[in-house]
Structure 1
Amino acid sequence: MQLFLMRHGEAGYHAQSDRERILTETGRHHTGIMSNWLTRNVNAFDLVLVSPYLRAQQTWQEVSKHFPEPRKWLVLDELTPAAEPGKAADLVLAYAEQYKADKVLVIAHMPLLGYMVSELVAGVEPPIFATSGITLIDKHAEQASIVWQHAPHSIS
């Protein structure tokens, strides 16, 4: 399975709550850059799992413009910034198995994503994800490894 973990695009701070923060124009632009770049590595996603927070939903809206409709996409309350990383990683893997998904995109937040990488890849310290940044984890049976990690500034 190829697991693409993506942090939402840059979001503004003028909102009633953290959950309601919206993408900035820069966030939309950087997400577009990453989406264009990502199309060179993957044609389509079998499964997309997205945080319920508005900025993550908007990031998915931007990404989805570049790809065909996935077989399945879900909003998961377990993908919020302060969610429990082990539970989130287990849930992502369970959904991937349930939907027989080979290419899975997860759009969520820091610090959750960094800790999820540590849960999924043995011996790896939690990496920092730039906004709109993506890490690809290749997972087969119990073996998992980081293939690459990119951010908008590293590909443009």
Structure 2
Amino acid sequence: MRLWLLRHGQAGPYVRTGDHLRELTERGRTEALHAGGHLLGEPLDAILVSPYVRAQQTAELVHEALGREPALHTVDGITPDDDPRAALAMLAGRREQNLLVVTHMPLVGALAGLLVHGHLQQPVTFNTASLALLEGDMALAGLMDLRALYHPPER
């Protein structure tokens, strides 16, 4: 299995109506497109996306860069404060072999650490729009290897 984990691009400040409504900044849009460039030519079966606006916008930009393939699927349970163990259980139940998950910190760092190290004490550091590639037989704790970690260029 090849699992790509992408943190959303830079988002604007918190809004009174809720964290879930924050939108990407122009820099965040550029970061998302940069991350999408690393995915060109990669065989993806599906893109799983957090329901939060900034993740949806990031996924849409990547999806567009990839020629609108594969399908986007909004998934609950991969928002910032969700339990990485529950996200891991969701991923373990998926049948696709090539997935992209667009989500948030601290979940994405904890999930990557759990997949690679088998515990939550060593999260992987993700900047905005950082993209990680993990590979392994299955999405199970401690059974995947971190093959690549791309960060957007500094501005």
- 1:117 paired residue number: 112
TM-score between both structures, scaled by the size of structure 1:
0.87
Q: Identity across aligned pairs (percent)?
A: 32
CA RMSD of aligned residues (A): 2.0
Write the letter of the residue equivalent to 2:131: I
Q: Distance in 1 between matches of 2:149 and 2:92?
A: 20
- 2:59 paired residue number: 60
- 2:9 paired residue number: 9
- Structure 2 gap segments, 5+ residues each: none
What SS does structure 1 have at the residue aligned with 2:123? coil
1:130 aligns with one of 127, 132, 137? 127
**Mapping for residues 63-74 of structure 1, pairs under 5 Å:** 63-74=62-73
- 1:45 paired residue number: 44
Q: Which moved more, 1:1-10 or 1:141-150?
A: 141-150
What SS does structure 2 have at the residue aligned with 1:152? coil
Q: Return closer, same or farther for 1:61/1:119 CA change in 2, 3 Å cut-off.
A: same
- Structure 1 gap segments, 5+ residues each: none
What SS does structure 2 have at the residue aligned with 1:153? coil
Q: Does 1:104 align with 2:105?
A: no
- Any idea what the Cα deviations from partners look like across 1:93-115, whole Å, max 9, x if unmatched? 212x2xxx121000000000111
Q: CA deviation at 1:151?
A: 0.7
Number of aligned residue pairs: 149
TM-score between both structures, scaled by the size of structure 2:
0.87
Q: Distance in 1 between matches of 2:32 and 2:104?
A: 14
Greater fraction helix: 1
